[in-house]
Amino acid sequence: MNEVTIALHTLYWPNTEADIVKAHSDVMNHFDLPVGYTVQQAPHGLWMDNVLEQCQTDIVCFFDIDCVPTNKQVIHDAIQYVARTKSFVGISQVSNHIKPCSHIFAAPAFFMIWRNTWLQMNKPTFAEQVRCDVGENVSYTAEMMGIKYKTLFPTHYCRQPEGERWFLHSYGEYGIGTHFEGGIFHLYQGRMPQNQELFKNTCAAIIDGTFTTDGMKDCREI
């Protein structure tokens, strides 16, 4: 496979807790993953549109500020998939607040796409719309055009701190602090102080090699 170019991008708002930004940056540096950070109070989806519009790399990858890899292999595997299929991959999510509450799509917290495919799809927006959450419109567009894509399913989520849980349609459930197959950790509702310690502790464990899903709830056990 010919070498492909890739750019990683993360958005965070100016009022984001500094320790969260540092924890995210520390993990990315640990895995030698150079990230372009944008500090701006901008709508997430529109910012993603703008990044893809301006970026000139073959692959564009997005990480939320409260989403990190637990190993480097998961990034390598995602790059290989996207480069081979000329498609996209992201963590699985369902918009439980938007009917039909059953559409599993590639969510933007960790999302990697072949840029030319986005262009060929006529640049579908990542912005929220009446029928979809942030990023969901891209998956809907791909489905309508017959473009296959991949989602990483959740394996475990943290029992503590107590927080919301959501159904992933018929698959199972996920919640605050979810681990996805391959090695992606996403802290949902990271803006809440009671959840931030979980993220910082998880990042520290990733860096020192002690991260494990032991003690977390199996997403298939409802």
Higher pLDDT, 103 or 160: 103
**Is 1 a domain residue?**
no
Structure tokens, 18: 């500094």
User: Could you give the number of structural domains in the chain?
Assistant: 1
Query: Peptide bond before 43: cis, by omega within 30 degrees of 0?
Result: no
**Is 94 a domain residue?**
yes
Structure tokens, 209: 């090699």
E-only strand ranges, 35-76: 35-39, 59-63, 67-69
* % of the chain residues with pLDDT over 70: 96
Q: From the centroid of its chain, how far is CA 25?
A: 15
Its domain, for residue 42, covers: 6-218
> Residue 99: is its pLDDT beyond 50?
yes
Structure tokens, 210: 């002690």
Return d(Cα 21, Cα 48) in angstroms, integer: 19
Which of 18, 23, 60, 57 is closest to 39 using CA atoms? 18
Instruction: Give the DSSP letter of residue 15.
Output: T
Return d(Cα 156, Cα 76) in angstroms, integer: 22
Q: Give 143-204 as a 3 state SS string.
A: HHHCCCCEEECEEEECCCCCCCEEECCCCCEEECCEEECCCEEECCCCCCHHHHHHHHHHHH
Q: Give 103-117 as a 3 state SS string.
A: CEEEEEEEEEEEHHH
How much is the pLDDT for 221?
Answer: 85
Which of 221, 209, 201, 185 is closest to 69 using CA atoms? 185
Under 8 Å CB-to-CB from 54, ≥6 apart: which residues? none
**Is 99 a domain residue?**
yes
How much is the pLDDT for 1?
Answer: 47
What value does the mean pLDDT take over residues 89-102?
86
Instruction: Output the domain CATH number for residue 68.
Output: 3.90.550
Query: What pLDDT, in 10s, does the model give residues 53-89?
Result: 999 999 999 999 999 999 999 999 999 999 999 999 9
How much is the pLDDT for 159?
Answer: 67
> Residue 175: is its pLDDT beyond 80?
yes
